[in-house]
Amino acid sequence: MALLFWGRGLRNAVTKKAMQGVQLYCTSVVSGRECVNGVDLFYQQTGKGDHAVLLLPGALGSAQTDFGPQLKSLSKDCFTVIGWDPRGYGNSRPPERDFPLNFFERDAKDAVDLMQALRFPRFSLLGWSDGGITALIAAARNPSLVNKMVVWGSNAYVSPQDVKIYNAIRDVSQWSERMRRPMEEVYGAELFIKTWEGWVDGIGQFAQRPEGSICMELLPQISCPSLIIHGEKDSMVPSFHPQYLVKHIKGSRLHLMPEGKHNLHLRFAAEFNKLVEDFLNQ
């Protein structure tokens, strides 16, 4: 299949222009580290609003690689925006990333505990791809802490069709150079291959669980207002996944973006940011 996407949170292509855009917002972003559950987690923070918002990146992603337009442009008066690098990803290394069966649960606990350590008693979650799965679990496990949630490119279970998609992108040597280069710059070529193959195996193991569940049983426990966004041209996440989420998360609503692909928040950043701001400010 044509690799015209960032799989599970890896961007389409990081051009020089895009990286220049990253540098522009860095002047208003504060970076730091916080020891959480035995790991020094790296995070970036911007804005001065009363509404705290945590950005949760996708597989192998980080705040800077996955959320440049959101760190730059989400209202700094309305929101305090925090982007984090999950353990083993980006700048939250060591440790090296591993993928035990509870890796999403582990990320969800790390994310919530990071926000508590940063003294945000309540916050909203914006989760992309794997980060969306993490957000689903965090919201279900911590209803008293989560104000609102937005997820896109995410799924609560792994189907046989999903496994085929994942296996089709296992071999990174088949990716284009522009696809590989940004991750090789972060991890180095060998560690990138190892970590990506680990992710493919890690996500695939859920297919062996009853109904392929990652967190299906937790969805009815989510009580916060929830917005599910789906790009109708997303080749990584079939449309039955957002339909399942909206059916099983009480009071949630689904917004479709006809031209959106897996990285819709990057390709259509202005539209996405406005949609999210309107939802969070309601």
What would the pLDDT profile of 207-222 be if each residue is shown by its tens digit? 999 999 999 999 999 9
Mean pLDDT of 174-189: 91
Mean pLDDT of 68-87: 97
Predicted confidence band at 178 (pLDDT cuts at 50, 70, 90)?
Answer: confident
Mean pLDDT of 140-153: 98
Predicted confidence band at 182 (pLDDT cuts at 50, 70, 90)?
Answer: confident
Q: Which two tokens stand for residue 96?
A: 């090296």
Residue 265 among the catalytic residues: no
Q: Tell me how many helices (H) and strands (E) the chain has.
A: 11, 8
Q: Which two tokens stand for residue 54?
A: 């945590």
Mean pLDDT of 36-59: 98
**Beta partners for 39?**
36
**Beta partners for 32?**
43
Q: Flag whether pLDDT at 30 surpasses 90.
A: yes
The residue annotated as part of the active site, out of 51, 241, 262, 265, is 262
Q: Flag whether pLDDT at 37 surpasses 90.
A: yes
The residue annotated as part of the active site, out of 234, 241, 252, 265, is 234
For residue range 3-27, list pLDDT tens digits in order: 334 446 554 433 333 333 344 444 5
Predicted confidence band at 179 (pLDDT cuts at 50, 70, 90)?
Answer: confident
Alpha-carbon Rg of the chain, whole angstroms? Answer: 17
Cβ-based neighbours of 57, under 8 Å, separated by 6 or more: 9, 63, 65, 66, 67, 83, 84, 85, 86, 89, 90, 128, 129, 130, 131
Residue 129 among the catalytic residues: yes
The residue annotated as part of the active site, out of 129, 154, 226, 252, is 129
Residue 223 among the catalytic residues: no
66-103: string of b/e by CB count within 10 Å (b at 16+)? bbbbbbbbbbeebbbbbbbbbbbbbbbbeeebebeeeb
pLDDT greater at residue 269 or residue 12: 269
Instruction: Give the DSSP H or E segment for 190.
Output: helix 189-204
